[in-house]
Amino acid sequence: MNSLEQFVQAVIDSTSQYTNLDHIYVYNRVLGLVGEGEPAEAVDGQLTSLVDALVKTAIQNGKIEDTQSDKSILADQLMDLVTPLPSVLNQLFWDKYQVSPKAATDYFFKLSKDNDYIKTRAIAKNVSFPAKTDFGQLEITINLSKPEKDPKAIAAARNQPQNGYPLCQLCMQNEGYLGRLGYPSRSNHRIIRMTVGGETWGFQYSPYAYFNEHSIFLDQVHRPMVINRQTFANLLEIVKQLPHYFVGSNADLPIVGGSMLSHEHYQGGRHVFPMMKAPVARTIELGVNGVEAGIVKWPMSTIRLTSKDPVALTDAAVKIHNTWMNYTDESVDVRAYTDGTRHHTTTPIAYKDGENYVMDVVLRDNQTSAAFPDGIFHPHQDVQHIKKENIGLIEVMGRAILPARLKTELVEVEKYLLNQDNQMAEMHKTWADQLKETKSITPANVTEVVNTAVGNVFARVLADAGVFKWDEAGKAAFARFISAVKQ
């Protein structure tokens, strides 16, 4: 069988939507998308390879142009044929949920990989390695999976009306959306509907996952992110429904928040992050019955709350959050407001530990100053050669998402350290010279030396983002804040 026939058979075999009686119909559907010329050969019989061949066929037949946008749109249209309708998928998911929450997510996760919504081939290009630091073993990743936008796509996005359709990439209206130049294709995209806080929310996977089963939980309504009592209650409700997942929210302010502040959403998944493994450095008393609390041994200022009672846990989180929103301590550059502008919020993360609910509440401050124009509690200039972007939820928890440029740049740093010909970027020179002075570097250990150094820089990045440092002044300031929470 040629690639077209193989794909048609795969469509019929992989979904209950079609039977062999539908063969001619499905064949003609695919033919309409790719054209009637001789199909290109597939590398193998894998579904993604068959789709690659059919995309190539469509280019040969003049059905699409050889551009990233056109190829992506067509590939997702083809994969849509092997993806159950949203109504069917939701029924299957909740049927499997009756067996167990894990059975339901296992099914949905596998489907999202099989239909290439989760870009497993692209994700496999990412660089990942552990790094031992004073705060435990951090996770370093260099993100190579997201495709670079071409200039046409960037221009198209800039020219799109702000009230376009869909309103943003997190809206439910993306489910099944064809896509366009400058906006991703979503024909094969599916969303599980669930009730959170008495309202309809969506659960989907991230196409370019940063960790295992990287999930997005999104509000059905397009409204800005906010951290409040409902946020804490929602996170705990999601964890109750999916107890094998963690879930957290980015902060709701620029600089310390995520990249999508315009649509209320959370991120979660099946991964144990370094922060979740970090011990409690000292226990504290917040005055909420049934809730244990402690300061976590972590570079960012984090209070861990533990309880079997999600309502009591929510009360404790609200107490911390509301106190922090209006808390100022000039001695450590902490200011809740300047000229009426709010600077304080939190990054909350919830998960189960046996019968207990756990919530880590991370204190955030987005002030800037003349000395630190990018943010007082943001990666400082001397570490921005490695990381200058916002410190969002995933990085708060100890997994670095570093820019793709570092893959090649760090190779040049290694050459420099070995006194070989190199094209090392000037911004790395001070750092590299310090490594030369303090390390015995050989061809056998140079990669390990650089990886360890990157991990230490990331630990420093997190420390920069921490509002109360781990020096004596910072510990005393944190203690004063805890006293304020207890009042």
Cα separation values, 415 from 129, 371, 420, Å: 20, 33, 5
Q: Which two tokens stand for residue 359?
A: 């919530």
Neighbours of 436 (CB within 10 A): 15
The pLDDT score that the predictor gives to residue 217 is: 98
Q: Residue 466 — very low, low, confident or very high, per pLDDT cuts 50/70/90? A: very high
Residue type (1 letter), 397: M
Contact call for residues 364 and 253 (beta carbons, < 8 A): yes
* Residue 335 buriedness (CB in 10 A; 0-12 / 13-18 / 19+): middle
pLDDT digits (tens, 9 = 90+) for 365-375: 999 999 999 99
pLDDT digits (tens, 9 = 90+) for 263-312: 999 999 999 999 999 999 999 999 999 999 999 999 999 999 999 999 99
Q: Long-range CB contacts (< 8 A, 24+ apart) of 251-254?
A: 251/227, 251/345, 251/346, 251/347, 251/364, 251/366, 251/392, 252/224, 252/225, 252/226, 252/227, 252/345, 253/342, 253/343, 253/345, 253/364, 253/366, 254/366
Cα separation values, 221 from 170, 265, 434, Å: 10, 10, 51
Q: What percent of the chain has pLDDT over 70?
A: 97
Contact call for residues 296 and 430 (beta carbons, < 8 A): no
Q: Residue 16 — very low, low, confident or very high, per pLDDT cuts 50/70/90? A: confident
The pLDDT score that the predictor gives to residue 7 is: 97
Angle at Cα 70 formed by Cα 28 and Cα 73, nearest 5°?
65
Q: Are strands 136-142 and 399-402 parallel, antiparallel or unpaired?
A: parallel
The pLDDT score that the predictor gives to residue 153 is: 54
Nearest to 51 by CA among 13, 86, 8, 12: 8
Nearest to 484 by CA among 326, 323, 361, 360: 323
* Mean pLDDT of the region 345-373: 97
The pLDDT score that the predictor gives to residue 145 is: 86
The pLDDT score that the predictor gives to residue 1 is: 87
pLDDT digits (tens, 9 = 90+) for 84-122: 999 999 999 999 999 999 999 999 999 999 999 999 999
The pLDDT score that the predictor gives to residue 377 is: 97
pLDDT digits (tens, 9 = 90+) for 148-163: 555 555 555 555 555 6
The pLDDT score that the predictor gives to residue 172 is: 97
Contact call for residues 462 and 469 (beta carbons, < 8 A): no
pLDDT digits (tens, 9 = 90+) for 422-452: 999 999 999 999 999 988 999 999 999 999 9
* Residue 25 buriedness (CB in 10 A; 0-12 / 13-18 / 19+): exposed
Mean pLDDT of the chain: 95
The pLDDT score that the predictor gives to residue 325 is: 98
pTM summary value: 0.94
32, HSE (Cβ side, Cα atoms, 13 Å): 7
Q: Which two tokens stand for residue 207?
A: 């196409």
Contact call for residues 482 and 284 (beta carbons, < 8 A): yes
The pLDDT score that the predictor gives to residue 164 is: 84
Q: Which two tokens stand for residue 24?
A: 């001619």
Q: d(Cα 293, Cα 448) in Å, to the nearest integer?
A: 37
